[in-house]
Structure 1
């Protein structure tokens, strides 16, 4: 395997203080904590972003860890996929139960790929786990290699304890959740045809919100998600020599169209889930924002509350469909007029609004027939899930063990897309109860200097073993 070497001592010259995350805590940490840290450290080092060809290395690494722990080869399935021209893999691992509960299996989701990170843009090497100022830094520290490491290590922990579940459990790790979701779609079909689980638990959403002082506010439970769809806005032109400008210019026309998209607000939408979410979360968030959440829950037409919530990037997506420009491609030479210009607009569509309706709205807002709007890939629209009673009780026990006192469990609708949409679309209740914990200002998933609190990392490592023993203890 092409596993990157990870230096575990010394300091980074660029900061003078930040050091690579070290494993010299073995005298202080439990075996499970130490093992999870090592897996986390090692898989951060794999650049499992599209086009870098390291997914097979990470899959081989995880498969080797699970095989060494005693999982039989027939229970470790590695699958190969072509994700829109880029090879990737998926990993499915079965933890065989003895059937004593007489219940259907449970599938557990995580994704192994990451959004790429350019080392030259980061303050620290994004593919070396670095501990600094109470945080672990690195691409995937939150999204979603914490989920991968935690679930993998939990399976190993339970196997080493000699525990046999009363129903089958399946790890289902996808390889291109952040891009084409080809592996996700194929795995969802395979799970439906070969496992037919009772429900799905997802590590890639949910999680615990922390206050500014890092005290716990609530556990979010993702029970629905907006529809992910991307459109390409394109303007074509005959072009010509740059010394002979013409009034119609592909770049200018595209820029005008994108500006109109940026200025458009889709109408506010609400559902029982979002009203409940804001009502519960508003009880834990102080100040004007919390008051606005409570007001919206009571009256979804409250304009002042809508304005306050909309001004917060962390919550505006729960109010309405959003569309935002994310990529540009234009021109072919610096001394030629552009013959084409394309802007990529990514939309997160509120359930019930419909992808076709959003496309029509974009065309109306732009108001220029010279701008073509093409949908990049098929969108998956999925319904809201129920929260199984036994899963609710298991999560409650995990939270009580972690914090010593109950904290609210708040149903949420994710503005981002996860693997879970493809299981919901197939009729399976899919709830995300990730073990991570963070303050809103510490969420850097997909961005520069992604991080996870060190104390939150360790505090969440009993989460899945408690949940699984509650759900599958015989």
Structure 2
């Protein structure tokens, strides 16, 4: 997800350049100015700077009368462009544990030649805002920072301390990760009873109306493994059975053919239970298969029925898939080396080492399998805490009356896994609505609905107040 940055300087000029349908409330216009600046700050790993974005956020917070002691800019040596910012709004009750608002401000790469519009210019068109990061994750980063600014400007005094952490590196595996750095080096700075993060949200139906809200309660841990094999090589005119490419291919086919065991967390059990009870939206045969699998996770026939849906399949187990290949050194030579990257999404509670052991068993003796750095922590599923889920549902009932809200486990991964590793449960907040196609996140022409953005902003603002007291 992406990082958020905005500066007060130049605000008048930015307001003049806003899209023609800018919202009418003064606080909405102010937010849109911030959001525009954030989207138009390039924070890709190749050419951008999260540090610049974080500094702009800090400047806006300080202009809203946050003292310097409550705004912390950070960057690790050797990573001058991958910094972040932490801000604190102190609460009035020292016995009440803080809450943490988490978002990332880095973004996926975007090639201008591939996009219909400049990816680093906020464009409003057809009821959407277009631009890299408009949805992932500068929408949430902007909303959280804007909320802290509004709290200070309106004189709101929460009972519990509200903290904000905007970090870099969520979208890249090998770059510096600000969330990991904070949890290792500044745990007291971001200590909280729980955190609100990306990963939740909602979905519009075909009729354009909200049909479902989701609060993320848990996620998988992402981990890459390298499969490598070698051979003696030789002239391609005299092939032998000792071929590094074939050995690697056999290992990868073994991974493709293996299904990790079905597992449930409290969250996925609650999700599938709700799906089995939804007679309107779930076909009876599928609902029955869900009920069977809930009763017996080893029911292979029921699992096979659910596996026809790729989301269900990924929600039920650890998954591993080949994503990169490299082999050989000449067109007319037998390969001396072949390697592949296998990307695994490890089910909560299962470990990198345990998954490695299974992959080694599948690969066989001719292929070496190693876990790639960085090695992520074991994913720890948060509890279905009514003190977290209750306010989310209560506020949603006001903004999205009649829309069901379900707990779900993300089959992907966010920076939440780092905070959970030090005892801070992380929940993906609902409120921001998306189309069924994913709004181009990580792809071309990323977008978010104008109505969805502003309605989600109001929902999340009230949600934070509901938690903070």
The alignment's TM-score, normalised by the length of structure 1, stands at 0.84
2:27 and 2:278 map into 1 onto residues whose CA distance is 32
SS at match of 1:91: strand
Q: Partner residue of 2:12?
A: none
Please tell me whether residue 136 in structure 1 is matched to residue 129 in structure 2: yes
Q: Deviations over 1:136-171 (max 9, x none)?
A: 333222221111111111212222212222222110
SS at match of 2:344: strand
Which sits farther off after the overlay, 207-216 or 408-417? 207-216
1:294 and 1:47 map into 2 onto residues whose CA distance is 49
Change (3 A) 1:128 1:240: farther
- CA shift for structure 1 position 80: 0.8
Q: Partner residue of 2:13?
A: none
2:279 and 2:24 map into 1 onto residues whose CA distance is 33
Please tell me whether residue 145 in structure 1 is matched to residue 124 in structure 2: no
Please tell me whether residue 316 in structure 1 is matched to residue 313 in structure 2: yes
Change (3 A) 1:77 1:337: farther
Say whether the 8 Å CA contact 1:257–1:366 is kept in structure 2: yes
Say whether the 8 Å CA contact 1:43–1:145 is kept in structure 2: yes
Q: Partner residue of 2:436?
A: 440
2:313 and 2:440 map into 1 onto residues whose CA distance is 17
Q: Partner residue of 2:56?
A: 61
Aligned ranges 1:359-398 → 2 under 5 Å: 359-367=356-364, 369-377=365-373, 378-398=375-395
Q: Which of 226, 244, 247 is the equivalent residue of 1:232?
A: 226
Q: Partner residue of 2:177?
A: 182
1:446 and 1:293 map into 2 onto residues whose CA distance is 32
Please tell me whether residue 272 in structure 1 is matched to residue 272 in structure 2: no
Change (3 A) 1:38 1:244: farther
Q: Partner residue of 1:306?
A: 303
Say whether the 8 Å CA contact 1:281–1:290 is kept in structure 2: no
2:340 and 2:467 map into 1 onto residues whose CA distance is 47
Say whether the 8 Å CA contact 2:210–2:403 is kept in structure 1: yes
1:347 and 1:86 map into 2 onto residues whose CA distance is 30
Q: Partner residue of 1:325?
A: 322
2:76 and 2:356 map into 1 onto residues whose CA distance is 30
Q: Which of 353, 357, 364 is the equivalent residue of 2:354?
A: 357
Q: Which of 31, 34, 40 is the equivalent residue of 1:36?
A: 31
Q: Partner residue of 1:164?
A: 157
2:405 and 2:201 map into 1 onto residues whose CA distance is 10
Q: Cα RMSD between the aligned structures?
A: 3.1
Structure 1 stretches lacking a partner, 5+ long? 4-20
2:94 and 2:285 map into 1 onto residues whose CA distance is 45
SS at match of 1:58: helix
Q: Which of 412, 415, 419 is the equivalent residue of 1:416?
A: 412
2:42 and 2:322 map into 1 onto residues whose CA distance is 25
SS at match of 1:461: helix
Change (3 A) 1:134 1:71: same
2:208 and 2:290 map into 1 onto residues whose CA distance is 26
Number of residue equivalences: 449
- CA shift for structure 1 position 444: 3.8
Say whether the 8 Å CA contact 2:322–2:343 is kept in structure 1: yes
Say whether the 8 Å CA contact 1:226–1:351 is kept in structure 2: yes
- CA shift for structure 1 position 318: 0.7
Change (3 A) 1:120 1:223: same
2:159 and 2:293 map into 1 onto residues whose CA distance is 46
1:406 and 1:138 map into 2 onto residues whose CA distance is 32
Q: Partner residue of 1:154?
A: 147
The alignment's TM-score, normalised by the length of structure 2, stands at 0.85
Change (3 A) 1:290 1:87: farther
1:440 and 1:266 map into 2 onto residues whose CA distance is 28
Q: Partner residue of 1:18?
A: none
SS at match of 1:143: coil
Q: Partner residue of 1:46?
A: 41
SS at match of 1:81: coil
- CA shift for structure 1 position 243: 7.1
2:185 and 2:102 map into 1 onto residues whose CA distance is 14
Structure 2 stretches lacking a partner, 5+ long? 7-16
Change (3 A) 1:23 1:413: same
